[in-house]
């Protein structure tokens, strides 16, 4: 059954500006990949290649040209896919410096292997209506705007909030955290913060000491990636538990992953499959983290509902009790309609709701 692949770019538009320490996003482009089987008309597997601007190692000018080349080779090979050769196809066909392409094509292959129904992993989330506990994301903005976001997330039933820090005035960020803590102690609301590497070696320890007054669960990536000696020091001494995020990007081999975590020994790591090369690669990080007794959770990376669905189903395999970062599906005005729904701080897959996806007869195979 020779498989064929096509792709189509899709620019997602944010409902509101999304502010981080790396800048403000108003739109983001993903490339939707669709795999069909010439012997099974009407059956298609969908995936999403969604490099994250300013962060993914494959956020490059010729991304689409490289994706087109890979799709062309894929179509020349008359491939068939089974569980035993999925990893071989990904490794041999897609360079490791294109992690979002690996992730997207892996999603589409898993989908078509399972009948092209958008159920990539069969578990309680995808099949039985079980929810995944999530954190509510607070984007950077003015003091008033961020407080309004906090109120909105609390009203939606979130009990864990994750606030972006590092772009506006640090004193204002502390005031927002203080305002939340005056109303809710840590037994009622869990607070996470994400610095996206905004702190420096000169001010990181001082800022972490200030932040510790707010009983935070963790801080993501306090300093820029690659400063291993200082990061190891922070992981061992910070009064706020450190969670590595950007630090993991571009670390590909199992040996490199193990060496990094063994050296830094963070309390937590945060896993974004699109940035790490897909589910096979992410599973390696999880296995190593479990061996080293490092906590972890999974987050989406501004994918559409196609990528978010796949990541959520993968996440549900592990029954991780920590709140996951999967709440990005409601960000866009032109997302794909899907069975995904957020209720009371949980993500659900409601099988009674329909998918509305781009048709798989998008173009002749590249």
- List residues with catalytic annotation: 164, 272
Kindly state the tokens that stand for 328: 């990005």
Please choose, from the candidates 201, 248, 252, the residue with its C-alpha nearest in 3D space to the C-alpha of residue 220: 248
Phi, psi of 299 (to 5 degrees): -135, 150
Question: Count of CB atoms within 10 A of residue 127's CB?
Answer: 14
The total of other beta-carbon atoms located within 10 Å of residue 163's CB is 23
Are 189 and 352 contacting, i.e. CB atoms less than 8 angstroms apart?
A: no
d(CA 152, CA 326): 17
Q: How far apart are CA 211 and CA 199, in angstroms?
A: 12
| C-beta of residue 125 within 8 angstroms of C-beta of residue 299 | no
Among 322, 270, 233, which residue's Cα sits nearest to residue 55?
A: 270
DSSP 325: B
| SS3 call for 39 | coil
Could you give the angle at the alpha carbon of 285 between the alpha carbons of 280 and 286, nearest 5°?
Answer: 90
Total residue length of the chain: 366
The whole-angstrom distance between residue 1's C-alpha and the CA centroid of its chain comes to 32
């Amino acid at each position: 059954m020779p498989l064929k692949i096509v792709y189509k770019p899709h620019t997602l538009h944010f409902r509101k500006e999304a502010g981080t320490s790396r800048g403000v996003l108003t739109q983001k482009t993903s490339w939707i990949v669709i795999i069909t089987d010439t012997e099974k008309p009407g059956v298609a597997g969908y995936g999403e290649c969604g490099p994250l601007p300013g962060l993914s190692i494959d956020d490059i000018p010729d991304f689409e040209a490289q994706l087109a080349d890979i799709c062309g080779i894929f179509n020349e090979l008359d491939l068939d896919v089974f569980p035993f050769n999925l990893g071989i196809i990904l490794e041999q066909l897609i360079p490791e410096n294109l992690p979002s392409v690996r992730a997207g094509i892996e999603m589409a292959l898993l989908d078509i292997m399972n009948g092209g129904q958008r159920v990539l992993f069969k578990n309680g989330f995808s099949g039985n209506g079980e929810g995944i506990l999530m954190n509510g994301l607070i984007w950077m903005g003015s003091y008033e705007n961020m407080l309004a976001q906090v109120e909105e997330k609390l009203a939606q039933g979130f009990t864990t909030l994750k606030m972006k820090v590092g772009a506006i005035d640090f004193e204002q960020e502390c005031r927002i955290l203080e305002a939340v803590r005056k109303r809710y102690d840590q037994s009622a609301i869990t607070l996470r913060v994400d610095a996206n590497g905004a702190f420096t070696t000169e001010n990181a320890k001082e800022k972490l000491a200030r932040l510790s007054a707010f009983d935070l669960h963790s801080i993501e990536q306090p300093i820029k990636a690659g400063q291993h000696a200082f990061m190891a020091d922070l992981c061992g001494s910070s009064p706020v538990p450190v969670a590595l995020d950007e630090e993991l990007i571009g670390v590909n081999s199992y040996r490199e992953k193990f060496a990094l975590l063994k050296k830094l020994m963070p309390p937590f790591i945060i896993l974004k499959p699109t940035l790490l090369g897909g589910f096979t690669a992410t599973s390696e990080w999880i296995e190593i983290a479990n061996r080293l007794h490092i906590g972890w959770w999974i987050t989406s990376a501004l994918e559409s509902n196609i990528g978010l669905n796949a990541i959520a189903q993968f996440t549900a395999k592990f029954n991780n009790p920590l709140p996951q970062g999967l709440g990005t599906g409601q960000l866009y005005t032109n997302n794909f309609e899907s069975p995904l729904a957020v209720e009371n701080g949980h993500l659900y897959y409601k099988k009674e709701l329909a998918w509305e996806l781009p048709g798989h007869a998008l173009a002749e195979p590249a």
